[in-house]
Structure 1
Amino acid sequence: MIQLEVIKGFYKREKALPAAFPMRILVIKEAEGYLHMNSGDHKLIAGRIFFIPEEGLVRLDGEIQFAYWLTFSSILYAEFLLQHLDPLAKNLFLKLSYRDLDANEFKKTTSLIEQLRKEVDARRDVAYLSQYLSLFLGYTSDLDGYLAALSLDELQQVLRFRAILEQFYKTERSIEFYAQGMGISSRKLNLFLSKVLGKSLSSLIKDRIMREAEMLLLHSDHSVDEIAKILGFEQTSNFHSTFRRYKGVTVNQFSHLG
């Protein structure tokens, strides 16, 4: 599903950089030389992060003092796309692109990626890793502009909340439950969600439930009654009315549109 390693040493363009999974990111901490692909040659610069398309071999030419090589599956990438519906997100890996991070951005990026490496080594589940990657991609690609203003501690809190929400959104609705999981008071969690994510807990839970509803309606063989039960609705009629208010179309209309 995901592989993250530190790479160092001398590289020659005759030998392609091996990738375990199709989605690929190269984060340069210190290096001299070039990244070569069919689309062109790109200089290896400290603080540069490359988002590399699925197609094409990656060839390095030069010396890598320290870089992170991250590859992951499209299954993990899917959560990022569900959270980012704009074309910029969908195009992130369609062609080679990169960002040059300033010192503060790079410090946060390396802290996040080091923590991700620990989570991978700890064999965290797919749901958690998909949330981590979604936050990491949103931050490093600058598609989630609000994340840039957050401290590293606040970024970690966003991740912690997303991970807890991902695990319990179908069954838990109370602010007290999520506050306990975060290790803070209900009041502080309400303030944090309002300040950082701009939404209440109930809105965030509803957003996540409706995204799951869309996925199940379009990509599963479950009946509407079964989907309502999976998502924690006691009555299918409640699921129908909630979905219509949220999407502006009925369940049947959405299924046919898909």
Structure 2
Amino acid sequence: MRKYISLKNKIEKTALVKVEPFKQQIRKTNPHKHNNYFEIIYLSEGTGFHTIDQSVFSIITPTVFFIRKEQVHFWDITSKPKGFVVLLKKEFLQASLDYKLRDLLSQLSHITCLKINEPQNIDALFQLLVSEKDFTVTEGLLKALLAKIIARSTPFSTSVNKSDTITLFQDFLKQTDNLHNSVAYYAQRLQISPQKLNAICRKTHQQSASEILGEHIIDEAKRQLLYSDNSVSEIAYNLNFSDSSYFIKYFKRYMGITPKAFREI
């Protein structure tokens, strides 16, 4: 029987950020999403595997995982883990006036896993964050932590600084419960022409707006096919396709197989 995606909420309703040690009793978990927060997981000890969407990562410590709210993930840990977890709501950034902190988070928000080469002081910063309650101090500690993670991790290529338009476009696409297969729909929400949105996407990501949109739609379709009992017709409806036959053709164009065949793999 196919498992449903559970929705976990590990942060209080009124809290904007939460930092705590990684629970050492965690070994195996079922596929789940997070309830409206970005999660940063640092492991200094532990072995096993971490699956995020369709990617399986071997846990080679020290390492950091970044999990967006729309992603499905689960653990298969084979030895005692040690580390820390940061839960960060969007409202935290909205309340923050530290633009450097926002920039650091923007750099990391589209990365899934980083190998830490020099972990010195990273544990200490996490430990300070666990007990800190002052918002301003938390901002400073979090900024220092993210800067050290970037500086001491395996090199990765950073994308061109995103304009407000491309950032807002991607924010809309993260609202996976209301995806629309229409560049014109998002251009209208951004109050620009589809041609302008396409030009911005090509300049920033070397992809057309429809290609970026298509990746989000296909990722969400795969999540629902893998982790829900929704029929193909129901998934097509959830993704705002006019009919299931169009959705099937769309999915096959990207994946080379039908949704039903993908589910049965």
Question: What TM-score do the two structures reach when normalised by structure 2?
Answer: 0.47
- The structure in which a higher percent of residues are helix is 1
